[in-house]
Structure 1
């Protein structure tokens, strides 16, 4: 009778108890710890209700395996087990339990404020550094100094691009004329057609995460991938060659797409944007002509050292950062088609990255998720806005790996992604990157 309890329904059996020692826990009397497993016949939430069998009677089966003289049972689950179960339940391609308005509401109001004076102060700072670096390198003219100059100046060229990028988004100021003037000066100085790029980049943001409609570093379908010739595959999936792709993208876009950022008749642009594209192409041409003239003034070797090599370092920064904002997470992230795609779901597949001391130099462009969802936010508010929305995003925000002074940890991530992320399936509305096992000959790379 010790194994029966008295309820308002009469005498009923105790629930079965199983011995399951809990890890990293020892009781004071060295007796095992047990967990309750309720009878499957208990269908009600009331602790006082009786279980019944299929014929409407009470279930009097006695399922007791140990006496009640053991230590008090523990019924809670291990936090590690709960975390693992929750991780398994979370699917990065599932629709999120929040909407864009929820995220917007979490952002402090002052984060939306654009200060033209503050924006211009960053321009003046970066331009001053660019000219100071060039003057110092030319004055010293030392082969110990030149490699350091190339890395520093190439990084500063990239910083100029980011400020021009803010102009293109309208996050530089509320004055479109100021945005366009500053954007043309900054982008033309590093041979980027401002309006041509601005319009295609707008397409990228409006279609981020969409297999066919995205514009920048979007995946190729398997059919397009298989149609590529070997030189194109080699260039696109071989380091460091792939990091030199940006100028070629400006001229001819990505595989499977046609048009040019310099040509107003390209299907990138609307008829009403023709004048803008022609203006940017004219500015780009003027800068190219200036560089050619400077070759005759200071000599081609000196121009190569002062401008040519830093320009290509800037290109590598641009490709490196842009690629890693959309690729290389430890868990593959989805790309969408058809009804499964939405602006919110596409934006949530972007990634933040930590670049160490470079974060401030290139204006926190690594804080990329909130920028993709709300490109109107100025770069100097991105970090604060991101911290504010993290509780809303939950697991849909993927915390970036912390960097040392320099983001060397990202080199391995880049190399791994280039080897594994080749194409996506021609069918399906939620797809993930797959690898071509024959890409590198006998070298086997991971599957999808």
Structure 2
């Protein structure tokens, strides 16, 4: 058969060459090898073949006419070639290969529908829980109960804030009047100026990921960082003090920025928004007056235990959650300036977080990437919208670490970030957090 194939290809067959036989094998004249048991027959085998003369010119001619690889790589070399052809490492600062419209198209249409009755049902649920917890704690009045009450009530204050936050985005209802009324009631009850915060938070969403223009936990430039006095620098980067920053931010904003959320002439607001700021500040003042009156009625200590400590827990929740939405990932995330910044690229630097059992309690605020890009989506559709958009995001989506029932792991991530995320360069359109050696305790900055 081989002779026929070679003849059909125009090649002459080579004379057969047989290796020296081994004990246990017999090779017949037709070159078939058969296994034999070791016995005396093996010794009687005779090999009869006469090798023909070999024409070396024909060998050379034969070798030239057959297309054969010049070199055969070993398995190790093949792996090396495969590694050389691997795609480059993912760069989170590179422009994404998809658009905002691509993400929008992937999200089911019903996720955009705002149901006022459903939103109000969440308000009713949270308000009933808040008053129920306060009544139970006051009735039991036990030092074993109070710490549990503070943690639970502070978390519920945070849940009220998230619903008021939805009102500010317009994702609570399609009725702007309902959004305003509910937003003022919820936010004023926890000492947040509704319109003042709503407007500054809108600025945050419109400029997320921009070094200078962002409004919430934006990075300090190296120049501003080095201009801070030692006390301010220590308070900003030493736990737990950053978790108490929110009331200070409402009055004076962040280092490098000026203005108050309570003053109608603040640079935070447009002249046309002065009336809204006056309304919100008046509501905030009315709540302060109510608390003062309650302090005289029931005494300052009961008021502190029922309202003051839960308010402090709420502030810690707010600072922790908002900080971790933009910091603390295992890989450094980019911040942008100039032409490199876009609404989409800035939004993709935000992070989703898993809060275990608390996800539903605080209305899935940890599902944050889609919320940042499309804040008009109601909170009860965010999880579904995120699942639909993830195939579009690809590697630009950072999978949140799965939480235990209670998200204690986030405290460690918060502390680690405070030790390494200190400032960004004064120049450059794509920058990453750098580390100050004095704060981190390391010998050199990253």
TM superposition score category, shorter chain reference: 0.7 to 0.9
Matching residue of 1:431: 431
1:148 to 1:271, Cα distance in 2 relative to 1, 3 A = same
**Superposition pairs of residues 325-344 of structure 1, within 5 angstroms:** 325-344=325-344
1:16 to 1:5, Cα distance in 2 relative to 1, 3 A = farther
**Whole-Å Cα distance in 2 between the matches of residues 126 and 240 of structure 1?**
27
- After superposing on structure 2, the runs of 4+ consecutive aligned residues of structure 1 that deviate more than 6 Å are 1-7
1:146 to 1:10, Cα distance in 2 relative to 1, 3 A = same
Matching residue of 2:305: 305
Q: Alpha-carbon deviation of 1:332?
A: 0.1
Q: Alpha-carbon deviation of 1:409?
A: 1.1
Q: Alpha-carbon deviation of 1:12?
A: 3.8
3-state DSSP class of the match of 2:196?
helix
1:35 to 1:439, Cα distance in 2 relative to 1, 3 A = closer
Matching residue of 2:321: 321
Given the alignment of the two structures, is residue 382 of structure 1 paired with residue 382 of structure 2, yes or no?
A: yes
3-state DSSP class of the match of 2:439?
coil
RMSD: 2.2
Larger helix fraction of residues: 2
Tell me, yes or no, if the aligned pair for 1:161 and 1:186 is still in contact at 8 Å: yes
- Residues 269-312 of structure 1 show CA distances to partners (whole Å, capped at 9, x for unaligned) of 00000000000000000000100000011110000000000000
**Whole-Å Cα distance in 2 between the matches of residues 272 and 338 of structure 1?**
28
Tell me, yes or no, if the aligned pair for 1:5 and 1:14 is still in contact at 8 Å: no
TM-score by length of 1: 0.84
Given the alignment of the two structures, is residue 357 of structure 1 paired with residue 412 of structure 2, yes or no?
A: no
Matching residue of 1:89: 89
1:277 to 1:17, Cα distance in 2 relative to 1, 3 A = same
Q: Alpha-carbon deviation of 1:20?
A: 2.6
1:36 to 1:368, Cα distance in 2 relative to 1, 3 A = closer
2:73 to 11, 15, 18: 18
Tell me, yes or no, if the aligned pair for 1:165 and 1:198 is still in contact at 8 Å: yes
TM-score by length of 2: 0.84
**Whole-Å Cα distance in 1 between the matches of residues 122 and 61 of structure 2?**
76
**Whole-Å Cα distance in 2 between the matches of residues 434 and 446 of structure 1?**
11
Q: Alpha-carbon deviation of 1:446?
A: 7.2
- Residues 205-248 of structure 1 show CA distances to partners (whole Å, capped at 9, x for unaligned) of 00000000000000010001111111111111010011000000
Matching residue of 1:230: 230
Matching residue of 2:445: 447
Matching residue of 2:371: 371
Given the alignment of the two structures, is residue 170 of structure 1 paired with residue 225 of structure 2, yes or no?
A: no
**Whole-Å Cα distance in 2 between the matches of residues 207 and 123 of structure 1?**
29
**Superposition pairs of residues 277-296 of structure 1, within 5 angstroms:** 277-296=277-296
**Superposition pairs of residues 154-169 of structure 1, within 5 angstroms:** 154-169=154-169
1:413 to 1:10, Cα distance in 2 relative to 1, 3 A = same
**Superposition pairs of residues 66-77 of structure 1, within 5 angstroms:** 77=82
**Whole-Å Cα distance in 2 between the matches of residues 284 and 94 of structure 1?**
43
Matching residue of 1:26: none
Structure 1, unaligned stretches of length 5 or more?
Answer: 22-33, 38-74
Tell me, yes or no, if the aligned pair for 1:251 and 1:261 is still in contact at 8 Å: yes
Matching residue of 2:132: 132
Structure 2, unaligned stretches of length 5 or more?
Answer: 1-10, 15-58
